[in-house]
Amino acid sequence: MGLRDFFLDKVTKVSTEQKKEIKDNLWVKCEHCGEISYKHEIEKYMQTCPACSYHFKINATDRINILVDAGSFEEIDRDLSPKDPLKFKDSKKYVDRLKAAQKSTGRNDAYISGRATIGGMDVNIGVIEFEFMAGSMGSVVGEKISRMIEDAIARKCHVITISSSGGARMQESIFSLMQMAKTSAALAKLHQHGLAHISIFTDPTTGGVTASYSMLGDVNLSEPMALICFAGPRVIEQTIRQKLPEGFQRAEFLQGHGMLDAIVHRMDMREKLIKLLAFFG
């Protein structure tokens, strides 16, 4: 009997009153394989599909909690907020988009950075919150990454970045694009001090984030099936008018072409980081 059949059998045996208490979100359908799984079972597997290992999206805070030692995370630079130097407006004012994102996420911008321990070892760790304007990298994101790296140099500890982004934030134009060089320069300084950068890719990581600091890891790791690219496959196909290879720009494709060191299941990521941090010393 499969997992789904087992739970369906259990449900059919409960009383009518109990059935009324069953909520609509008790079951979750996998976006990848279509399998319907018990919600608690998905939570047990850290928000991944028990049938095909598809990784559901999770927020930045949950990512930190999965990886670091319990209670060890200390956020830094939380109060940094973006400005609107260009007075940008498309279908909506940039300031209004910022206010909406800040209200929905409870964050000033898309990056969470701080100090923590993993396996008892000091690290500085930063995560992009994709729900904040698709995790786009503006001036505050770049500034927080650079400050986090500088703080790591002062503390003599390694840096872990976790990326999930739609790319550079167009509403800030050159102020956004310059963050690519800024974060890359900060990492060069980190390397000069003999400290490591472990970069973790999640679905999706695209645009200027891919083209800058996230690809500059001493070790590049990824969750399975993550989309990792500069321009997405649809844009490329429309530009060159050719069909792209199956799985093009997914983590497995990139690993096969030497751009990733390993693809790691979410449940194994913490243990992998402990081993890497111990290796780097």
**DSSP three-state, residue 106:** coil
| Full set of structural domains in the chain with CATH | 1-56 (no CATH), 58-280 (3.90.226.10)
Residue in the structure block whose two tokens are 């018990």? 38
| Contact residues for 176 (Cβ-Cβ < 8 A; gap 6+) | 136, 137, 138, 139, 142, 168, 169, 170, 208
Q: What is the pLDDT of residue 207?
A: 95
Cα–Cα distance measured from residue 250 to residue 252, given in angstroms and rounded to the nearest whole number: 6
Q: For 157-211, how does the pLDDT look when each residue is reduced to its tens digit (9 = 90+)?
A: 999 999 999 999 999 999 999 999 999 999 999 999 999 999 999 999 999 999 9
Q: What is the pLDDT of residue 246?
A: 86
**DSSP three-state, residue 203:** strand
Q: How many CA atoms lie within 13 A of 237 on its CB side?
A: 9
DSSP state of 145: H
Q: What is the pLDDT of residue 19?
A: 47
Cα–Cα distance measured from residue 211 to residue 197, given in angstroms and rounded to the nearest whole number: 16
pTM over 0.85: yes
Residue stretches of the chain with pLDDT short of 50: 3, 7, 14-22
Q: What is the pLDDT of residue 14?
A: 47
Cβ count within 10 A of residue 248: 14
Q: What is the pLDDT of residue 232?
A: 85
Q: What is the pLDDT of residue 2?
A: 56
Residue 175 structure tokens: 């102020």
Q: What is the pLDDT of residue 233?
A: 86
Q: Report the candidate in 140, 276, 138 with the shortest Cα–Cα distance to residue 217.
A: 276
**DSSP three-state, residue 230:** coil
